Chain A
């Protein structure tokens, strides 16, 4: 805890829709991200897990300035990201970069790898011809591809290679933080391992800070120092990865861990199939997990639990009135 946070997200909120139509009727609003606060320290990997639609990608896009929060603030090194994204997007892009989920569609089909990788070198750090050549070589070396790939088109390379190009592009301007949104979900397991190993290697070599988003718990567990579990746009639990996975406080984290298949795990513990998911257009007043929660009591349906330390560890927080293995309130 000694080092100050590099990236601070304070009560970030992103609402889609809302407002009124020209006839004055209210338009439905979806709270994709609500009241999310977290810190990422230099050199650490923060894993973000959660199911589809829980707001992971929206949060990621907020951090890199591809989208603007409708409330709260996001600061990097003490500077407001939202203001930077409006005034000087290139400056922000030099510090924070993004790796996309679908490696192939994140590369323009009509550009060669060389053109794709040169763009940030020109626009972000203004390298000259010579500098570009040298940097391209370094980048290809960093992601373990021979320079021969520079002259290929995206459809001429495999998914794993395309994702490495995506990583090289993110590295090009020497950023401090890289947000990885499901970087290995589209890859085969054997290729996934190659990419995970490269990411690990790059992190130590260049002193990078990662925000690693994935729905795959085992992948997140293997890469993260700390992990945040998101449910319905909010953080349900956050803490050191070891702690959260070994001693989950929030019933939702518990459910995720029990549902995850693992080699050798003979039977999964399924949740009762009748449970309903909360309606994003009509969010429940209390805990969003109420309808699915085995520990729920009347209180959970009425008011929303705050994100607090539940297991005695100051760094391990959960938003739940009746946490697993923690103290009751």
Chain B
């Protein structure tokens, strides 16, 4: 139990993260541009009293409507002869102050309502949110007008109106997030640590909501400035002679054709101000919540990029294998780091055979399996070496069209979560027939008939009725059976099953396992079965491949591996699982944890945890040795029969 001692020093620390966000923000040139324009404008506006500007409110009828670039009046004068440059600077000052204060007020009250409603839930939530709904029921600007009408025109009242109108916006988004967070286990944990509700809400929940509040603020402030300008434009905000961008625009409107600069200048100013705030706000949002970033939600390419640098063309498929994966290398390139998720994986499957792939999470089981049909998302994933032969065909050099034909037909998949395969809005029948029609030239009614046979095949009672139901109307075990039916729809030669029973209860798991076992014998289909459970392996797999840190470290027949594991890792892995009926057995934990695949050692990846490790283990990559018929191991000092490690 020395895990703590061997674990690497923390890489990314809180203090080190902050400069990162700022750097990220600076990388976004639009946001940076917006930020600098904004800062410049804010500084000028703040410095207005100290700048050598004319008094913005002093009228000089003699100098009225002077054009821009006149001496003494760089941007000209308005209808009362006031200096426009000075008024713009002072007006920006007012608009910024009003927009900012309105945002802060709206954010404060809106977030408070949202936090309390989301956390208290139940009746409090209903009352608060119905109140918010009532505010939202009015058209936005009408409500602001109504509030100003009641309070009377004036800049401060316009500010209140804008703030009130925006409260629901904050309340709603914050409530949603708080609701989700309040159901999280850390809130229960805080309660059991003795914290009161107020402490939980403001010390535990609020810090998690804060980024969202900031994002919402940065994206609303521009909007609020625009609204203030709108009210002032209508004469309800800033009152003469006070300068405000909106009122300046309003005053200039009447003389738009005779003296366009009087309205164009404040108009442009509003445009630049709001644009810069929004660009900066978007940048802030992208940094604080990368998931919302535009473009991120687009689908990755439909097939993993294949970029084989080495001479993989020399590889030849085995004669007896239906699927033969050789030296598969799949990497993820993330921000300059390379994760070698699969670092030379060899797997092969004979017709009708079930091969179990076992290993801890992160050992590369799923990536290896997904690489075969190009299902690893690209970017960031890419296949950089090796080959996968289906029969004699190298899948990595096949065309996209060919891969599309093979997927769901010759090679099919079953995943851990059936809901990731089934579409919630279509009936089982629709989805099954679609899968059939995608690969076969049959009529709709024939496809329906086939679908019914498939449900019979996977032992679903009353298939004709079940075809009409939606996935959510079925139990987890039923859904998984539907997924298996779908995988079998087009007579797959190979079925890739990724932890298909992990999410199921033991009794249902037993049903699914025996179903898969029966079906593969009936149909002579090969199964690549990924699991972390040796018990499951015993129940269905003929052979096992044990994976560790992106490589297969041992292969052999299931019984032989269980009885006499050759790799020290396999031996220890078997020893640390409690076995039903042997409660007295001491659990032999493996100390430490696997190395990260972005920082693999030169020699054996298991050496740090291995009781048999010697100097030569760390010197060079460990080759695979075939030490008996069908048994191979990647170890220099394998465990001998009867030896205990």
Q: Which residues of A contact B (CB under 8 A)?
A: 51-52, 64, 66, 89-90, 93, 97-98, 100-102, 105-112, 116, 119-120, 122-124, 144-146, 148-149, 151-153, 156, 158, 160-161, 166, 169-170, 172-173, 188-194, 196-198, 215-219, 221-222, 241-242, 245-246, 255-271, 273-274, 277
A20 to chain B, nearest CB (A): 15
Given contacts A64-B192, A161-B3, A256-B506, 7 further A-B pairs with CB under 8 A are A66-B191, A93-B193, A221-B583, A245-B583, A260-B580, A262-B535, A263-B577
B298 to chain A, nearest CB (A): 26
A261 to B532, CA, bound (A): 12
| Residues of B close to A196: CB separation below 8 A | 578, 587, 589
A147 to B280, CA, bound (A): 41
With A64-B192, A274-B459 known to touch, is A144 a contact of B576 (CB < 8 Å)? no
Binds A, one of B4-12, B27-35, B58-66, B300-308: B4-12
A117 to B475, CA, bound (A): 40
With A100-B189, A110-B208, A190-B590 known to touch, is A156 a contact of B12 (CB < 8 Å)? yes
Q: Which residues of B contact A (CB under 8 A)?
A: 1, 3-5, 7, 9-14, 184-186, 188-195, 199, 204, 207-208, 360-361, 459-461, 475-476, 481, 505-507, 509-511, 513-515, 517, 532-539, 559, 562, 572-574, 576-581, 583, 585, 587-591, 593
6 residue pairs of the A-B complex, CB under 8 angstroms, read A106-B185, A156-B10, A191-B593, A263-B538, A264-B538, A273-B460
- From B587, which residue of chain A is reached at the shortest CB distance? A193
Task: Please state if B572 and A108 are interface contacts (CB–CB under 8 Å).
Answer: no
- From A53, which residue of chain B is reached at the shortest CB distance? B505
| Residues of A close to B589: CB separation below 8 A | 190-191, 193-194, 196-197
Task: Please state if B184 and A110 are interface contacts (CB–CB under 8 Å).
Answer: no
| Residues of B close to A198: CB separation below 8 A | 1
With A98-B188, A194-B589, A273-B515 known to touch, is A144 a contact of B1 (CB < 8 Å)? yes
A110 to B186, CA, bound (A): 11
A246 to B562, CA, bound (A): 24
- From A267, which residue of chain B is reached at the shortest CB distance? B539
A196 to B576, CA, bound (A): 10
With A196-B587, A197-B589 known to touch, is A189 a contact of B532 (CB < 8 Å)? yes
| Residues of B close to A193: CB separation below 8 A | 576-578, 587-590
- From B190, which residue of chain A is reached at the shortest CB distance? A119
- From B561, which residue of chain A is reached at the shortest CB distance? A263
Task: Please state if B505 and A215 are interface contacts (CB–CB under 8 Å).
Answer: yes
| Residues of A close to B578: CB separation below 8 A | 193, 196, 216, 218-219, 221-222
A101 to B185, CA, bound (A): 9
| Residues of A close to B537: CB separation below 8 A | 263
A190 to B7, CA, bound (A): 16
A277 to chain B, nearest CB (A): 7
B204 partner, pick from A108, A221, A242, A274, beta carbons under 8 A: A108
A219 to B576, CA, bound (A): 11
| Residues of B close to A110: CB separation below 8 A | 207-208
A131 to chain B, nearest CB (A): 15
Task: Please state if B507 and A152 are interface contacts (CB–CB under 8 Å).
Answer: no
Task: Please state if B573 and A190 are interface contacts (CB–CB under 8 Å).
Answer: yes
| Residues of A close to B517: CB separation below 8 A | 267
A190 partner, pick from B195, B360, B509, beta carbons under 8 A: B360
A261 partner, pick from B4, B7, B533, B591, beta carbons under 8 A: B533
A161 to B106, CA, bound (A): 41
B583 partner, pick from A100, A124, A222, A266, beta carbons under 8 A: A222
With A153-B14, A190-B590, A218-B577 known to touch, is A109 a contact of B208 (CB < 8 Å)? yes
A190 to B606, CA, bound (A): 13
A148 to B481, CA, bound (A): 47
Task: Please state if A273 and B459 are interface contacts (CB–CB under 8 Å).
Answer: yes
A221 partner, pick from B189, B476, B580, beta carbons under 8 A: B580
Task: Please state if A93 and B194 are interface contacts (CB–CB under 8 Å).
Answer: yes
Closest 9 CB pairs of A and B: A123-B194, A261-B535, A193-B576, A259-B510, A193-B589, A146-B4, A106-B185, A51-B505, A119-B193
| Residues of A close to B188: CB separation below 8 A | 66, 98, 100, 106
Task: Please state if A263 and B14 are interface contacts (CB–CB under 8 Å).
Answer: no
Task: Please state if A263 and B534 are interface contacts (CB–CB under 8 Å).
Answer: yes
Count chain A CB atoms within 10 A of each CB in B12, B184, B580 and give the residue with the most.
B580
With A146-B5, A245-B581, A263-B579 known to touch, is A268 a contact of B513 (CB < 8 Å)? yes
B507 partner, pick from A98, A197, A221, A271, beta carbons under 8 A: A271
A266 to B49, CA, bound (A): 87
A270 to B512, CA, bound (A): 8
Task: Please state if A51 and B506 are interface contacts (CB–CB under 8 Å).
Answer: yes
| Residues of A close to B539: CB separation below 8 A | 261, 265-268
Task: Please state if A270 and B1 are interface contacts (CB–CB under 8 Å).
Answer: no
Task: Please state if B193 and A105 are interface contacts (CB–CB under 8 Å).
Answer: no
Task: Please state if A270 and B587 are interface contacts (CB–CB under 8 Å).
Answer: no
A215 to B504, CA, bound (A): 10
With A193-B587, A270-B510, A270-B511 known to touch, is A169 a contact of B14 (CB < 8 Å)? no
Task: Please state if B459 and A260 are interface contacts (CB–CB under 8 Å).
Answer: no
| Residues of A close to B559: CB separation below 8 A | 264
Task: Please state if B3 and A267 are interface contacts (CB–CB under 8 Å).
Answer: no
A291 to B627, CA, bound (A): 52
- From A277, which residue of chain B is reached at the shortest CB distance? B475
| Residues of B close to A222: CB separation below 8 A | 578, 583, 585, 587
A81 to B579, CA, bound (A): 36
B573 partner, pick from A189, A261, A266, beta carbons under 8 A: A189
A248 to chain B, nearest CB (A): 12
Task: Please state if B186 and A245 are interface contacts (CB–CB under 8 Å).
Answer: no
A188 to B185, CA, bound (A): 20
A260 to B514, CA, bound (A): 12
A263 partner, pick from B459, B481, B535, beta carbons under 8 A: B535
Task: Please state if B185 and A105 are interface contacts (CB–CB under 8 Å).
Answer: yes
Count chain B CB atoms within 10 A of each CB in A102, A109, A194, A266 and give the residue with the most.
A194
- From A152, which residue of chain B is reached at the shortest CB distance? B10
- From B9, which residue of chain A is reached at the shortest CB distance? A148
- From B208, which residue of chain A is reached at the shortest CB distance? A110
| Residues of B close to A153: CB separation below 8 A | 14
Task: Please state if A108 and B581 are interface contacts (CB–CB under 8 Å).
Answer: no
Task: Please state if B208 and A261 are interface contacts (CB–CB under 8 Å).
Answer: no
A257 to B535, CA, bound (A): 13
| Residues of A close to B581: CB separation below 8 A | 221, 245-246, 262
A83 to chain B, nearest CB (A): 17
Count chain A CB atoms within 10 A of each CB in B4, B11, B573 and give the residue with the most.
B4
| Residues of B close to A101: CB separation below 8 A | 185
With A217-B506, A264-B562 known to touch, is A271 a contact of B361 (CB < 8 Å)? no
Task: Please state if A107 and B14 are interface contacts (CB–CB under 8 Å).
Answer: no
| Residues of A close to B579: CB separation below 8 A | 218, 262-263
A66 to B496, CA, bound (A): 42
- From B536, which residue of chain A is reached at the shortest CB distance? A261
A137 to chain B, nearest CB (A): 13
| Residues of A close to B515: CB separation below 8 A | 270, 273
- From A201, which residue of chain B is reached at the shortest CB distance? B1
| Residues of B close to A241: CB separation below 8 A | 583
Task: Please state if B361 and A215 are interface contacts (CB–CB under 8 Å).
Answer: no
B577 to chain A, nearest CB (A): 5
| Residues of A close to B361: CB separation below 8 A | 188
| Residues of B close to A259: CB separation below 8 A | 506-507, 509-510
| Residues of B close to A188: CB separation below 8 A | 360-361, 532
With A102-B185, A190-B572 known to touch, is A97 a contact of B4 (CB < 8 Å)? no
- From A256, which residue of chain B is reached at the shortest CB distance? B506
| Residues of A close to B533: CB separation below 8 A | 189, 261
Task: Please state if B194 and A105 are interface contacts (CB–CB under 8 Å).
Answer: no
A252 to B477, CA, bound (A): 18
A148 partner, pick from B4, B510, B585, beta carbons under 8 A: B4
A269 to chain B, nearest CB (A): 7
Task: Please state if B189 and A169 are interface contacts (CB–CB under 8 Å).
Answer: yes
A153 to B208, CA, bound (A): 13
A267 to B269, CA, bound (A): 77
- From A66, which residue of chain B is reached at the shortest CB distance? B188
A124 partner, pick from B193, B532, B536, beta carbons under 8 A: B193
